[in-house]
């Protein structure tokens, strides 16, 4: 038997989370280890493994994140991953809303701040 999905457990109310917004089809809550203040996850209520598993659910989830972000954080990154090689660790679709400020130093692999990262393929 496989482990229960942590996000499904949160949505069902069986695991704790600090909810910041809810919709009929998605929820927004603070992740366990936010990278900056205001870091939020938007998660569909239905279990979908990742962003490529169900394009319609992904579109709705991103629409919720896009609605939430400008109201509560201003400039931000909207980030999701699909698969372990893409750094996905919880296999339930989720969108990270990461508030950003000029000069915050938060590195991303496609920005100059990430000095240790080099192109593997051109």
Q: Tell me how many degrees the CA angle 13-67-90 measures, rounded to the nearest 5.
A: 45
Question: Please, are residues 75 and 98 in contact by the beta-carbon 8 Å criterion?
Answer: no
In 3D space, the residue among 41, 106, 108, 33 whose CA is nearest the CA of residue 69 turns out to be 41
* Alpha-carbon separation of residue 46 from 8, 86, 96 (angstroms): 8, 22, 17
pLDDT of residue 122: 42
Q: Any idea which fold 6-99 has?
A: HIT family, subunit A (3.30.428)
Global pTM value: 0.86
Instruction: Give me the tens of pLDDT residue by residue for the chain, a chain 122 residues long.
Output: 567 899 999 999 999 999 999 999 999 999 999 999 999 999 999 999 999 999 999 999 999 999 999 999 889 999 999 999 988 999 999 999 999 998 888 877 666 554 544 444 44
pLDDT of residue 3: 77
In 3D space, the residue among 36, 95, 108, 34 whose CA is nearest the CA of residue 66 turns out to be 95
Tell me which H or E stretch contains 2: none
In 3D space, the residue among 116, 97, 113 whose CA is nearest the CA of residue 21 turns out to be 97
């Amino acid at each position: 038997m496989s482990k229960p999905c942590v996000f499904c457990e949160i949505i069902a109310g069986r695991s704790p989370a600090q909810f910041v917004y809810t919709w009929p089809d998605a929820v927004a809550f603070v992740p366990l280890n936010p990278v900056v203040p205001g870091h939020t996850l938007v998660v569909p209520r239905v279990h979908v493994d990742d962003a490529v598993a169900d394009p319609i659910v992904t579109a709705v989830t991103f629409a919720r994140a896009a609605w939430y972000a400008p109201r509560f954080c201003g400039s931000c990154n909207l980030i999701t991953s699909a698969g372990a090689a893409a750094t996905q660790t919880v296999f339930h679709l989720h969108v990270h809303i990461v508030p950003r400020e000029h000069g915050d130093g938060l590195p991303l692999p496609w920005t100059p701040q990430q000095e240790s990262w080099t192109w593997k393929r051109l």
